Amino acid sequence: MLKKKSAYTVAILGATGAVGKETLEILEERKFPLASLRLFASKRSAGEVMTCQGKEWTVEELLPSSSFAGVDFAFISATDAISKEYGPRLGAAGVVVIDDSAVFRMDAEVPLVVPEVNAAALRSLPRGIVAIPNCTTTPLVMALKPLHEAAGVKRVVVTTFQSVSGTGAAAMDELLEQTRALMAFRDVKAEVYPYQIAFNLLPHIGSFSESGDCSEEVKIVRETRKILDAPKLRVTSTTVRVPVLRCHSEAINVELEKPLTANEARAALAAMPGVLVYDDPVKKLYPMPLDATGKDEVYVGRIREDESITNGLNLWVVSDNLRKGAALNAIQIAECLVQG
């Protein structure tokens, strides 16, 4: 579908959001072969000027009449409604759509891709759409893949500690404003979340099902199985929103088919592209959101054997949700397609 060129025209739908801004930064950092850039957002942001690769680009209002003639790649980081409306339309018109929503992730005709894990899934794009996983699924599967290859993963228990940037810029603003208000002994307003997030934890991300699972927890389970091509893999998750601006953290417990020592696990993880083993308890070296902010790597530490189960391991994983969890992963997919 993608014609080989020396440079490509890229459209970003949701350009002024947190992920959209990160996408612009990474396009520049990685020197993506950019011929032209089209930036789309809501009417409120239309006319705003943004810079990338030494040029200024004006944000256009996204409308049903918007033309995408000549566009090679479209990164969609907006609402589910925008993905549903524009994803199939652009894919059918020959644009390679790389979508950040949950709309297409479980579609059998849409590959769900983390390039370091399953780049081979990009060989076929029947709908012209590639989905990127939830920003907690991506670091999870990157940590699981080398362990799965080394010893076979039987069961995964993951608890996530997700920063407010996963909800968007308004949530980041709300955390900062609530913190200021509390420090000044003023009343706190909760608008983005159902409760105060500053100095608090919310064990609730997404909507609740009849079984009591949050939609975020269901996504992690289903997406992990699809990416690892392990439909019967036993996975359970609990997702928690924490008062951190950026980076998601995960406590992962893994039950393996075969024995794997902590040192063997460290070696397997260290050999995994995109993973940084950051693990020296004696020196108090373990991943934290402050370490991973603005970084591309998935940080893994607190690697230790779990003696409560046969062939068990515990891991602590931290990743920048706006980068590897979203914008970077999308751009890496485009790079894979450009390189063929």
Residue type, 110: V
Contact (Cβ atoms closer than 8 angstroms) between residue 54 and residue 27: no
Report how far residue 154's alpha carbon sits from residue 55's, in angstroms, rounded to the nearest whole number: 50
SS3 of residue 151 by DSSP: helix
CA–CA distance, 8 with 108 (Å, rounded to integer)? 28
Query: Which residues, including other chains, have CB under 8 Å from residue 37's CB and lie 6 or more apart?
Result: 9, 10, 11, 12, 27, 52, 55, 57
Give CA separation, 92 vs 68, 82, 85, 285, in Å. 12, 16, 12, 49
Q: CA angle 127-131-133, nearest 5°? A: 160
Exactly one of 52, 148, 248, 336 is catalytic; which is it? 248
Cβ pair 279, 315 in contact under 8 A: no
Give the number of other CB atoms < 10 A from CB of residue 178: 24
Q: Which pairs count as long-range contacts for 269-277, CB under 8 Å and 24+ apart, including other chains?
A: 269/143, 269/146, 269/147, 269/300, 269/303, 271/146, 272/116, 272/142, 272/143, 272/145, 272/146, 273/116, 274/116, 274/142, 274/298, 274/324, 275/142, 275/143, 275/146, 275/300, 276/300, 277/301, 277/303
Half-sphere exposure of 269 (CA within 13 A, CB side): 31
Angstrom distance (rounded) from CA 227 to CA 138? 9
Active-site choice (135, 148, 214, 247): 135
Residue 135 appears among annotated catalytic residues: yes
Give yes or no: 148 in active site: no
Residues designated as active site: 135, 248
